[in-house]
Structure 1
Amino acid sequence: LLLMGLEMVLGIQLFKHESGGGGAIVPIAFPLIAGAGSITTLLSLRAEYQIVNILVALSLNMIIVYLVLRLTTFFERILGPNGLHILRKFFGIILLAISIKLFLSNTGIEIPK
């Protein structure tokens, strides 16, 4: 997550990327589908709620994700190249924050308040 966030924010290429494909897919789809927030939320909800409630919420989330991905070309057309660039930077910052938080919590390092 940290390296992907750095790529998105700094505009550098750390990994070989496939050519072609929609430019809006990665900044929209990755945090939406496989973000650390999704996994953490599921684990947290499992501790507090019944499985039926979680399945209903997960189903609604899948419908929303499907609609967002189906409308990606619409978002790409509306936002334009500059809007996609800003969106990529925004989600890159979010990925950096999530990866740093996960690193700190997994290593037990606390930042003084």
Structure 2
Amino acid sequence: MKVAVAVFILMVCLHAGEALMCKACPSILPCRIQDTEDAECTGSCMKVTVDGQDLAVRSCSPIKMKERCESATTLGKSAYSCACNTDLCNSGPSISPPSVFGLTILLAAARGLLN
């Protein structure tokens, strides 16, 4: 049992060293790039834009995803969602590359813009 606990602690410590830096909106969603903060992320960087606006949701996914982008129309709003895996890759106007988590963010952003 002690060995299992030691291995777990070692894995957590090693994993912490692999952190990715992403741009993230501090509290207001969506936000402009100048309003973002650099955040340490254990998964992938995410960016979701709705109807091509200057505003976007920039965040971290807790899980690492494939780098890719997808577009979808939800509740009459067109959204573009990307996941990427290099430092600060979600800071530009477009990024290389969502999954279930990305689509969840997409739906939340679309719903927020409709209210």
Higher relative helix content: 1
Which protein, 1 or 2, shows the higher relative CO under an 8 Å CA cutoff with sep ≥ 6?
A: 1
TM (norm. structure 1) is: 0.23
Which structure has the highest strand share of the two?
2
Provide the TM-score with structure 2 as the length reference: 0.23
